[in-house]
Chains A and B, each alone.
Chain A
Amino acid sequence: MNWLLRGGRVVDPVAKLDAVRDVLVKDGKIARVAENIPVDNERVVDLKGKVVAPGFIDMHVHLREPGREDEETMETGGAAAAAGGFASIAVMPNTDPWNDSQSVTEYIVSQAKSRCPVNVFPIGCISKQGRGKELAEIGDMVKSGIVAVSDDGHPVSTSHLMRMALEYTRIFDIPVIDHCEDRSLSKGGVMHEGYHSTVLGLRGVPAASEEIMVARDLILAEMTGGRIHIAHLSTRKSLELVREAKKKQLRATCEVAPHHFCLTDAVVAESGYDTNTKMNPPLRDEDDRDGLLQGLADGTVDAIASDHAPHNRIEKEREFDQAPFGILGLETSVSLALDRLLHAGRVDLIRLVSLYTAGPARILNLPRGTLAPGAVADITVLDLDRRVQVDLGALRSKSRNCPYQGWKLRGAPVLTMVGGRIVFDDRA
């Protein structure tokens, strides 16, 4: 199917383009971006008043397959991604079994191809079974399609293993994604350590637990020349460390999750211990949130990634101490960013689009994130003024662990195209 996407405001950070253009899609590729392209025999989609951007990429998703199909599947997670405006997702390896071998990687790739409407890029383990002891067979997994390695969910606790990972991955030029947490400091913690953890009587996770590991990783990246990517960065000081590293031209990047720039630890109290405010890293304080907003604006942050972490209701409806960490993110990420970053005047549109496209594409070496002719026709269309209200009942995800029920937001994805195929269309 060929398409002529007509009259939209085309925003392509790579081409530094922000103008009304038509986009011609032929055989799953971008054929032309220009003014007033004449119709041949393509299907015409009128996008006047909408924003046409390269297909969005969420580089931090827990798809739960294989192993926890009760929480999310290729179908439900894929539908959630498509409805959230994402043409591509990179999926974390802490499944059951862990994605630490070529056979699991191949399973994910083949299942995704037949069952998932969006592109799925697997991330392999750093260490066998994510145990942090010895390197997984990264080379084999690269052959089968992993785009990065991570033991996400677990930190890489020993500096030696992190050094090995950063050195070894230089062979393949892929990033090492670290979940930064010094577990000797975070042990037993269930929320950010600060005033609110004190008042609520919950054990805290100090900001230093993350920052120490960020500092260590950056030092090792400098020493090894490897590529480090900091997952779900959550504190001001972590951000400052990355900012300094970038000034020194280190190969260091980072992502921030929407909940960390939209919420603070105060909501744990306001919600009366709602376990949908429990995630790792935890919601931080107002000063940290402000730091992240600055980092999103000034370019220190490379990507917005949701850390989409579905959990079934039984596990989440528990005492706060015992509930698992994590919330959904795929279907709310873009509206939260449009409302809280773009419309709040924090980040301009081209930068926002870059955080979802060119940023993650560059980190993961994906030949995507642009609308340049010849590129794969992954496209996300936004309606910047669409008023939406978060309704947990209407989510595509199989799980419901989301703290935004009833939130009214301005701006939403309205169409998602993957390789020239429309996988989501809600233009109304």
Chain B
Amino acid sequence: MTPEAGFRLRHKHLLGIEPLDADEVRLILDTTESFLEISQRPIKKVPTLRGRTIVNFFMEPSTRTRSSFEIAEKRLSADSLNFSAAGSSVSKGESLIDTARNLEAMAPDMIVVRHSAAGAPHLLARVCRSTIINAGDGAHEHPTQALLDAFTMRQKKGRIDGLEVAIVGDLLHSRVVRSNIFLLKKLGAKVRVSGPPTLVPPGLHRLGVEVRTHMEEALEGVDVVMMLRVQQERMLGGAFPSLREYFNLYGLTEERIKLAHRDVIVMHPGPLNRGVEIAAEVADGPYSVILEQVTNGVAVRMAILYLLSGGVVGELAA
């Protein structure tokens, strides 16, 4: 299971989970273990990326992911720069490529990009020399989220292989579900997805997941329930009549959670819509690992930054 010493990522960029193979995913998860330990020390800083410059290029609002990357960068001693659409030349009409080329002229080593358009990191990877890390692109992928989700599952359940995972909610607009499906299938989990048919994109079954219309069927006996946020800001309207009815049909309640395995863990990528996809009691309840996901997120991102900067297993500066 553990990768051999000397094993490194074969990709220059992290554009998604889809292009990675299972060994690379395992490498990232194993490396995360080491970084989790660093985050628990009184002095949470290592010199690993000293002298490296990382740009956090966030073209879409983000709290969790951006802070998480920023903290990860600081703990690795990298120099980081935060750049967002508001208040920048983007609001003056500069194109994505021009903005990126200008940033790149300042010679960063890595660019962490969040963008509302699927494929934006791919466009940057074509025109930039820096390593591009996808921090969420439209409804396409959110690879670091899936990695921190998998890390949390492994931490709580001891394995991914053979786990039964239900992912419920707004599947159509979710980059989290796509990255999670790719990752979980690579590591041998069984995945069921559920949501109102108006929010289920076509062809999901071809990714090797079971699609269930009724949430209850998806929850039956599962080890992990992952709830997805209802992304009202991306909806064209009419996907469901009201938030109240949505909650009645697809909200995770204490009643419904009884359908799952008794040791189930409840996950959510945030931000939560309490009372829309998840009842407050469940979000705060004993099954919830939502805040641990956030904690693990920092360690996962440290591992990714380390590995993408050329880090090699067994050489980690402790």
Contact flags (1/0) for B107-119 with A, using CB distance below 8 Å? 0000000011111
Q: Does B138 contact A (CB under 8 A)?
A: yes
A395 to B38, CA, bound (A): 57
Given known pairs A272-B126, A319-B115, the reply for A201 and B96 (CB within 8 Å) is no
Select A201's contact among B125, B137, B203, B204, beta carbons within 8 Å: B137
Asked if A319 contacts B126 (CB within 8 A), the reply is no
Asked if B119 contacts A193 (CB within 8 A), the reply is no
Chain A nearest CB from B232 CB (Å) reads 15
Q: Does A394 contact B (CB under 8 A)?
A: no
A199 to B120, CA, bound (A): 15
A62 to B236, CA, bound (A): 31
Chain A nearest CB from B179 CB (Å) reads 10
Q: Contacts of B175 on A, CB cut-off 8 Å?
A: 201
Asked if A202 contacts B236 (CB within 8 A), the reply is no
Given known pairs A197-B201, A201-B118, the reply for A321 and B207 (CB within 8 Å) is no
Select B122's contact among A196, A272, A314, beta carbons within 8 Å: A272
Q: Does B202 contact A (CB under 8 A)?
A: yes
Contact flags (1/0) for A307-335 with B, using CB distance below 8 Å? 00000001001111110000000000000
Most buried by B among A200, A201, A273, A320: A201
Q: Contacts of A200 on B, CB cut-off 8 Å?
A: 118-119, 140
Interface residues of A in 167-197 (CB under 8 A from B): 187-188, 193-197
Select B120's contact among A196, A203, A317, A319, beta carbons within 8 Å: A319
CB nearest to A202 among chain B residues = B118
A314 to B204, CA, bound (A): 34
Most buried by A among B96, B123, B125, B137: B123
Interface size on A, residues (CB 8 A): 23
Interface residues of B in 228-243 (CB under 8 A from A): 236
Asked if B119 contacts A320 (CB within 8 A), the reply is yes
Select B117's contact among A314, A317, A322, beta carbons within 8 Å: A322
Interface residues of A in 201-225 (CB under 8 A from B): 201-204
Q: Does A198 contact B (CB under 8 A)?
A: yes
Asked if A273 contacts B119 (CB within 8 A), the reply is yes
Interface residues of B in 106-165 (CB under 8 A from A): 115-120, 122-123, 125-126, 137-141
Chain A nearest CB from B20 CB (Å) reads 15
Asked if A314 contacts B95 (CB within 8 A), the reply is yes
Q: Does B18 contact A (CB under 8 A)?
A: yes
Select A319's contact among B96, B207, B236, beta carbons within 8 Å: B96
Interface residues of B in 258-274 (CB under 8 A from A): none
Q: Does B249 contact A (CB under 8 A)?
A: no
Asked if A202 contacts B119 (CB within 8 A), the reply is yes
Q: Contacts of A317 on B, CB cut-off 8 Å?
A: 95, 97, 123
Asked if B97 contacts A199 (CB within 8 A), the reply is no
Given known pairs A199-B178, A201-B139, A318-B96, the reply for A272 and B18 (CB within 8 Å) is no
Given known pairs A202-B138, A320-B118, the reply for A195 and B202 (CB within 8 Å) is yes
Residues of chain B having any CB pair with chain A under 8 Å: 18, 95-97, 115-120, 122-123, 125-126, 137-141, 175, 178, 201-204, 206-207, 236
Q: A202-B140, A273-B118 are in contact. List 18 more A-B contacts (CB 8 A).
A: A187-B236, A195-B202, A196-B203, A198-B202, A198-B203, A199-B178, A199-B207, A201-B139, A201-B175, A272-B119, A273-B122, A317-B123, A318-B96, A319-B119, A319-B120, A320-B119, A321-B116, A321-B117
